[in-house]
Amino acid sequence: MPLPKEMRSVTVHPTQPITTTITTVAVPQILAPNEVLIKVQAAASNPKDWLHLFMLGVSLNSGDDLAGTVVGMGTEVSKFRIGDRVAAFHALGQPYGAYAEYAVAPAYTVFAIPGDMGFEEASTIPLVSLTAAITLFRRQGFAAPWDLDLGPDQECADKNKNKKPLLLYGATAALGTYIVKLAKMAGIGPIIAIGGGSNIFLDYRPGMEQVKKEVSGYAKRYNLKLLNSIDAFTENKTWVDISQMLDAGILSVFSSANSYDESGVPDNVQIMYTYVDTGHEGAYKPGMPKQATPEEAVGDVDSAGKFFDWVGNMCREGKFSVHPFDVVPHGLHGVADGLNTLKDGQARGKKLVYIVS
Ligand SMILES: NC(=O)c1ccc[n+]([C@@H]2O[C@H](COP(=O)([O-])OP(=O)(O)OC[C@H]3O[C@@H](n4cnc5c(N)ncnc54)[C@H](OP(=O)(O)O)[C@@H]3O)[C@@H](O)[C@H]2O)c1
């Protein structure tokens, strides 16, 4: 079927409350060699979809997570066919984002999804799972499951190498749950996970002093040296307290709005910022805090491609469960409601998804 010439696309405005406008724009007819054009069936929101707009004072189609069917490909794309069901991570800040009837993503951040996986479920995976993967397997230095030569008993030297304690704060955030999922699949552990609303985690709600006591108690009881840690919440200076729970090592953080130079952070703890779009750009933005080396950031692009191929395989084998989600009513007209719900901290433990087609 020929592509339509025009489509509906949402522009998100950094107003109080957040507002959107829906305009008619041209469907891209010419693609770069490595690009895939996708008819969007479902899009999902991330906190950055409103956060970045407020930080930069700009309005744009800020959606980056989507699932749908392939309707066009650049000349160098060979791994998909027209009509394939896929999920995709759109490049941050680029044209043709997820809050529209058609979106564009580079082929290496697009993966095929199985016939029995709903588009709504699939749209919750790309951005946050890649953030978790870059954090664990690039910044924290654990061996990636797609590089592990796992035998039938799921054990190998690399996987044993991953048997190191991981301290995770924010375990019930979408990012935290994908970190737990990937860490378990890679044999990382034991994991000391701090979250809310679940009795399988240490509870953050009694406050940081109580969390510190409990973490120290676990570390002593099980004789754990804490050298790897992730703050999947990264708000209200949580990283300062978490850094003090470590023996030394690396603490991953996720907000570019802080410099992380507080005197309370011990000298032997290195704070490392993950920016998920190094998976597209191979570089941080100038001025971003606590960056990895340029050489490491360049390698994130190749790793993103390997990761999404692996995630597609895991989905087909039924080994990759998605984060719980709520469908926000009214499709593209619901995006403002969804982003206000996220901004107000009311989307507890759920991704927010919009059915587009
Ligand atoms: N730099 C990057 O590339 C990048 C990429 C992805 C995400 N991020 C950032 O990472 C953060 C998490 O993103 P997300 O998508 O996972 O967000 P999310 O799912 O919307 O996070 C909400 C969750 O945070 C938990 N939470 C609330 N207050 C908390 C507290 N005081 N301590 C610990 N946890 C608390 C809540 O858990 P309960 O419901 O259990 O209370 C809630 O479910 C956001 O700041 C986001 O911008 C950055």
Residue 202: closest CA among 170, 164, 163: 170
Count of CB atoms situated within 10 Å of the CB of 214: 16
pLDDT of residue 357: 84
- How far apart CA 112 and CA 116 sit, in angstroms, is 12
pLDDT of residue 202: 85
Question: What's the N-to-C CA distance of the chain in angstroms?
Answer: 16
- How far apart CA 34 and CA 26 sit, in angstroms, is 20
CB-ligand 1 contact for 348 (6 Å cutoff): yes
pLDDT of residue 155: 53
Cα 36 to ligand 1 centroid, rounded to whole Å:
30
- How far apart CA 310 and CA 303 sit, in angstroms, is 10
CB-ligand 1 contact for 258 (6 Å cutoff): no
Domains with residue ranges and CATH for the chain: 6-125+322-355 (3.90.180.10), 128-302 (3.40.50.720)
Question: By the 8 A CB rule, do 250 and 228 touch?
Answer: yes
pLDDT of residue 156: 57
pLDDT of residue 106: 98
Residue 8: closest CA among 50, 47, 39: 39
- How far apart CA 39 and CA 24 sit, in angstroms, is 15
List the structure tokens of 37. 């054009």
pLDDT tens for the 357 residues of the chain, in order: 789 999 999 999 999 999 999 999 999 999 999 999 999 999 999 999 999 999 999 999 999 999 999 999 999 999 999 999 999 999 999 999 999 999 999 999 999 999 999 999 999 999 999 999 999 999 999 999 988 755 545 555 566 789 999 999 999 999 999 999 999 999 999 999 999 876 667 888 889 999 999 999 999 999 999 999 999 999 999 999 999 999 999 999 999 999 999 999 999 999 999 999 999 999 999 999 999 999 999 999 999 999 999 999 999 999 998 989 999 999 999 999 999 999 999 987 899 999 998
Residue given tokens 């190094």 in the structure block: 278
Cα 162 to ligand 1 centroid, rounded to whole Å:
25
Q: Of ligand 1's atoms, which has the minimum distance to the CA of residue 349?
A: 43
Single-letter amino acid, residue 348: R
pLDDT of residue 161: 82
- How far apart CA 316 and CA 209 sit, in angstroms, is 43
Cα 47 to ligand 1 centroid, rounded to whole Å:
8
CB-ligand 1 contact for 338 (6 Å cutoff): no
Cα 72 to ligand 1 centroid, rounded to whole Å:
34
- How far apart CA 71 and CA 40 sit, in angstroms, is 10
